[in-house]
Amino acid sequence: MKVLIADQFEQSGLDGLEAAGCAVTYDAALKDDALVAALRESQAEVLIVRSTKVTAAMMDAGDLALVIRAGAGYNTIDVAAASERGIYVSNCPGKNSIAVAELAFGLIIALDRRIPDNVVELRAGRWDKKEFSKAKGLYGRTLGLLGFGNIAQELAPRAQAFGMDIVIWARRFEGEADVDLGGYGLDTASRASRITIAATPGDVAAQADILSVHVALGPETRGLVNAALLARLRPGAFFINTSRAEVVDHEALAEAVRDRGIRIGLDVYPDEPTTPTAEFSLPILRLPGVYGTHHIGASTEQAQEAIAAETVRIVRSFKETGRVPNVVNLARRTQATHMLVVRHRNRPGVLAHVFDNLRGEGINVLETENIIFEDGAAAVARINIDGAPSGSLLAGIRAGNEDIISLQLVAIVP
């Protein structure tokens, strides 16, 4: 299997892919037209990327069957175009969660103790213990979490260890009256740290001393953190974003910094450079009380090794079984209206006969499962279809092949 890697990738991952029998082409600098040309020339079946954008033109250039995002998010990949072309898109969820949670908590501590400002002043030869002794501390303060995926689930127990209260909003908890957070590894019996679920993002902001965002980017989360939500934060509150830049209205965020003393820590930005080094200027980063890092949340050695191992697992599974772990673009529910259950002798041509008859009546096969009985003499096929075959069609299928034992038509209830 031919694999093209168009981003930085760990040596352990390269070794693992080669050990799996893959022909690997590795060029971390490939982008845009150069990547289109490389896909055309290599005829790679698998493309592995991190931050590199993957477009429809790239998918049309060669023989791609699978695109792997060596990380959690996949908003840089044109998933709709991949689905139209029958190309799998997969990712590595949860493998960088600890790394991002550690950075988020580092930003929280840095904001409270103004660590970067301390460093700058000392490097400039200035001593100001009185000024930099001003800090509230984290114990007993409230951390608000927007979203409760893998990263937030790692951040929450770290906050508990610091004696912080936690308030959470997440779509997974909407409509649930009683949530067992103990199942997420949290100490729900702790007297030093209370945990509550809020009904809306705004309710979280109203209670939080520190608001940290951990939602995936989608139509419902784009611009989630807007002026109205930020207005519910207390003056002087902290805001942390290590998720996606697009979930935040940055103009409203800058206004909150200027007018209400909100202090912020950011690891993601609009219009980030696509190369490892570049000139980059964003007005909000020049405001007092704003700390930024270079989109490095997932960039620890531990995280990258874990992601490389997961990427190798995905490729190996695809190569050896045809199955893709963590695939993100398969339909959760098909448009099937009926299931045709065919018990048949396990002989060539039986299913071809069934499919050919269904096609004659304009009925499309959406999903098929064929299970073999013990000793291999017979099988049962479960065929999901997008319409109800006529009685005459079913009779024709049954009578037209002596190896069909029985037919059963089952309506699928939405």
Check whether 81 has a pLDDT greater than 70: yes
Helix (H) or strand (E) holding 212: strand 210-213
Residue 261's pLDDT is what? 96
* pLDDT above 70 coverage of the chain, percent: 99
What is the average per-residue pLDDT within 391-407? Answer: 95
Mean pLDDT (whole number) for 77-82:
96
- Name the CATH superfamily, with its identifier, for domain 97-297: NAD(P)-binding Rossmann-like Domain (3.40.50.720)
- pLDDT value, residue 124: 97
Q: What type of residue sits at position 255?
A: E
Give pLDDT, residue 288.
94
Q: Which of 95-104, 167-176, 369-378 has the lowest mean pLDDT?
A: 167-176
Residue type, 57: A
Q: Are strands 88-90 and 66-69 parallel, antiparallel or unpaired?
A: parallel
Query: 258 an active-site residue?
Result: no
What residues contact 111, with CB distance under 8 A and at least 6 apart? 238, 263, 264, 265, 289, 291
Q: What residues form DSSP beta bridges with 225?
A: 248
- Taking CB atoms within 8 Å and a gap of at least 24, the contacts of 324-331 are 324/66, 324/88, 324/90, 325/90, 326/90, 326/91, 326/92, 326/93, 327/88, 327/89, 327/90, 328/74, 328/79, 328/89, 328/90, 328/91, 329/79, 329/82, 329/83, 329/88, 329/89, 330/88
In DSSP notation, 322-346 reads: S--TTB--S-SS----EEEEEEEES
Phi-psi label, residue 227: left if phi above 0, alpha if psi -120 to 50, beta otherwise: alpha
Q: In what order do the strands lie in the sheet with 88-90?
A: 23-26, 2-5, 46-49, 66-69, 88-90
Question: Quick one: pLDDT at residue 193?
Answer: 72
- The arithmetic mean of pLDDT across residues 388-405, rounded, is 95
Average pLDDT over residues 182-204: 82
Say if residue 44's pLDDT is above 70: yes
Confidence grade of residue 178 (pLDDT, cut at 50, 70, 90): confident
Q: What pLDDT score was predicted for residue 274?
A: 77
Domain boundaries, the chain: 2-95+302-321, 97-297, 338-411
pTM: 0.79
Q: Pick one of 3.30.390.30, 1.10.630.10, 3.30.930.10, 3.30.70.260 as the CATH number of 338-411.
A: 3.30.70.260
123: helix, strand or coil: helix
Closest CA to 408 of 350, 339, 336: 339
Rounded to an integer, what distance in angstroms lies between the CA atom of residue 74 and that of residue 411? 36
The domain covering 2-95+302-321 belongs, at the CATH homologous superfamily level, to NAD(P)-binding Rossmann-like Domain (3.40.50.720)
Q: Report whether pLDDT(191) > 70.
A: no
What pLDDT band is residue 179 in, cutting at 50, 70 and 90?
Answer: confident
Which of these is catalytic: 121, 255, 272, 361?
Answer: 272
- State residue 177's pLDDT score: 59
Give tens-digit pLDDT for 97-155: 999 999 999 999 999 999 999 999 999 999 999 999 999 999 999 999 999 999 999 99
396 CB-side CA count, 13 A: 14
Q: Check residue 123 and give its pLDDT.
A: 97
Choosing from 295, 345, 382, 398, which is the catalytic residue? 295
Of 69, 114, 214, 244, catalytic: 244
Q: Kindly report, residue by residue over 135-146, the tens digit of the pLDDT.
A: 999 999 999 999
Task: Write out pLDDT tens, residues 286-340.
Answer: 999 999 999 999 889 999 999 999 999 999 999 999 999 999 999 877 789 999 9
Helix (H, G, I), strand (E, B) or coil at 98: helix
295 given a catalytic annotation: yes
The pLDDT score that the predictor gives to residue 335 is: 84
Distance CA 170, CA 321 (A): 35
The question of whether 369 is a catalytic residue gets the answer no
pLDDT digits (tens, 9 = 90+) for 224-283: 999 999 999 999 999 999 999 999 999 999 999 999 999 999 999 999 987 888 999 999
Can you tell me whether residue 38 is helix, strand or coil?
helix
Q: What rounded mean pLDDT belongs to the chain?
A: 94
Beta bridge partners of 47: 4, 67
| Domains 2-95+302-321 and 338-411 equal at CATH topology level | no
